[in-house]
Amino acid sequence: MKTVYDRPETLTSSKTHYCPGCTHGIIHRLVAEVIDELGVREETIGVSPVGCSVLAYNYFNVDMQQAAHGRAPAVATGIKRVHPQKIVFTYQGDGDLAAIGTAEIVHVAARGEKITTIFVNNTIYGMTGGQMAPTTLLNQVSMTSPEGRTAIPQGYPIRVSEMLATLDGAAYIARVSVHNPQEVSKAKQAIKKAFELQMAGIGFTFVEILSTCPTNWGYTPKESLKWLVDNMIPVYPLGVKKMPEER
Amino acid sequence: MAKVLMKGNEALGEAAIRAGCRYFFGYPITPQNEIPQYLAKHLPEVGGVFVQAESEIAAINMVYGAAGAGARVMTSSSGPGISLKQEGISYIAAAELPCVIVNMQRGGPGLGGIQPAQSDYFQAVKGGGHGDYKLLVLAPASVQEMADLMEKAFDLADEYRNPVMILGDGILGQMMEAVEFKEEKKTSQMEKPWATTGAKGRKPNLINSLFLDPLELEKHNLHLQQKYDRMAKEVLWENYKTDDAELVLVGYGSSARIAKAVVDQARVQGIKAGLFRPISLFPFPKNALQEACKCAHNVLTVEMSLGQLVEDVRYNLEFKVPVHLYGRVGGMVPTTRAVLEEVKRLVNGDQGVETHENCL
């Protein structure tokens, strides 16, 4: 019988700790499929963050380093400078990347480090139990914005992709989503593009992926996908924000 | 190789290159700027990499990444910058990564000042960040010794898979002295089969400090502790006229140089003074200190802090000998005259104390 669907070699057989309906699992698989398709599993070094995906090192079947909260881009810089021929990626959530790790992500892009960042944005701190993140939407309820986030004094959500796209060192910046099969397919294309451009030595590549958190949002998995479409995409429009010029 | 006249910070940079260090990640702070400046110029000449990071925090995390990738790597900073690095240092110690960290101490606390101090002693030898961990800490007292200890620091870091701190101060970093460098060792460095280099033909490697199971985390801590115990054999020290010394001065780094001059001046005045200079601050040379103080009626630590080294000296002498402190802080440096006065005061107060039977 012909196998039509299987676990990518870049994923281990470990069961994940992710909650039901969480889209981290889909995103892990997309990254793993891309690494498989590019044939670079043995050449890839990943960096896991602090947050829900801290245990990503148990799931990606590649060399991994676990980084302090927000510091994955700095750790990845150290790795890439030592092994410029290897493929280096960070996998980070929005609390990790857009709050405590803001300086690291901005400067890794400014330096044009030839690494790829997979940025999973679900507008909330998941692992710590649903606190407000820099990406939490206005009026969105969280454990630390119980009345809903207000612009003043809690601040506006940060559009990381658009911000990074202003930096000359950033080569490729895209925002994608995984709320339906078509978007999953586009997300995979974006991830693949990001890895290919890294391998071509073009510069820093970044894919923001809108993701759900049914547990902390308080919706069912299905409702969460609809909430993402209705509420997140208007604030975080999908698309390629920066693409290297044809050469 | 002939001797050359060099600033301490620059000599340290040169020694790092000769020790095989090819990666430096740092952030500017006085009084250590000549280290990154020297390496920014000279690392690329030998195929190395210099990165000026966006922060001390980023710099130490780049060190984490590079060390985890198997490289000989270092960073340098001073007081406030070292404080910022503590998160990363804790992770590096926990993940057992080899690297060298230089602290050219300046006056604190807070922003403090830019003049020399030794008030980061506790931070260096007791861990510094969160959790139970230790750095190997080496304290040179001359430009030559800084150069010599650099190679040792990298070798120790690799051997123990542990961060090593060179604890200097603004004087040592800024002063010029003659220094002779060893030829660069051509021998290959230690194999690092644990490093993340791409899992080619092997199982993936992981650099990590997370242990969610309490029993596992306790096991990891006990493993680290056993390693720190094993380091006890790496003690380094210098004795100066301690054989018959009834008053032993104890100091490290720049303060030890001042104390040494005081020993000579005291001897001229008929005072049996000596100097014990710990070179490794962790591990602390306990047995050597006890031996150096076997005739001592009094011990006087000379330090540019208000009492940090003195605590370890008391502890390591097991409170058997009175241990006193002469400290200046904030960038003020002890003068030989003032220390000598303190020595004479202690000796005069000592009249009538019987000489130890081993020292008649």
Backbone angles phi, psi at A243, to 5 degrees: -135, 140
Counted residue by residue, chain A has a size of: 247
**Residues of chain B with pLDDT > 70: what percent?**
96
What structural domains and CATH numbers belong to chain B?
A: 4-233 (3.40.50.970), 239-359 (3.40.50.920)
Nearest CA-CA distance, residue A223 and chain B, Å: 32
CB-neighbour burial class of residue A65 (10 A; exposed 0-12, middle 13-18, buried 19+) = buried
The first and second tokens of residue B232, run together, are 């006890």
CB-neighbour burial class of residue A153 (10 A; exposed 0-12, middle 13-18, buried 19+) = exposed
pLDDT given for residue B358 in this prediction: 59
Q: Is B61–A103 a contact, with Cβ atoms under 8 angstroms apart? A: no
What structural domains and CATH numbers belong to chain A?
A: 24-242 (3.40.50.970)
Nearest CA-CA distance, residue A230 and chain B, Å: 37
Peptide bond into B283 cis (omega under 30): yes
ipTM of the complex: 0.97
Residue B62 with chain A: CB contacts under 8 Å: 74-75, 77-78, 81
Residue A247, pLDDT > 70, answer no
Find which of A43, A45, A204 to mutate to test the B interface (most B CBs within 10 Å of its CB).
A45
Residue B197, pLDDT > 70, answer yes
Any chain A CB within 8 A of the CB of B71?
Answer: yes
* β-pair partners for B247: B273, B298
Model confidence pLDDT, tens digit, residues B156-165: 999 999 999 9
pLDDT given for residue A171 in this prediction: 98
Residue B25 with chain A: CB contacts under 8 Å: 77-78
pLDDT given for residue A144 in this prediction: 97
pLDDT given for residue B352 in this prediction: 58
- Residue B307 backbone zone (phi > 0: left; psi -120 to 50: alpha; other: beta): left
Say which DSSP state A181 is in.
H
Q: What is the mean pLDDT of residues A130-150?
A: 97
Calpha distance A69→A75 (Å, rounded): 11
Find which of B55, B92, B196, B200 to mutate to test the A interface (most A CBs within 10 Å of its CB).
B196
Is residue B188 very low, low, confident or very high in pLDDT (cuts 50, 70, 90)? low
**Residues of chain B with pLDDT > 90: what percent?**
94
The shares of helix, strand and coil residues in chain B, as percent rounded to the nearest 5, are 40, 20, 40
Q: From start to end of A75-230, where are the E strands?
A: 87-93, 116-121, 124-125, 131-132, 170-177, 204-210
Find which of B25, B43, B54, B61 to mutate to test the A interface (most A CBs within 10 Å of its CB).
B61
What's chain B's average pLDDT? 96
Amino acid type, B222: L
Q: Is A62–B70 a contact, with Cβ atoms under 8 angstroms apart? A: no
Model confidence pLDDT, tens digit, residues B273-285: 999 999 999 999 9
Calpha distance A77→A63 (Å, rounded): 15
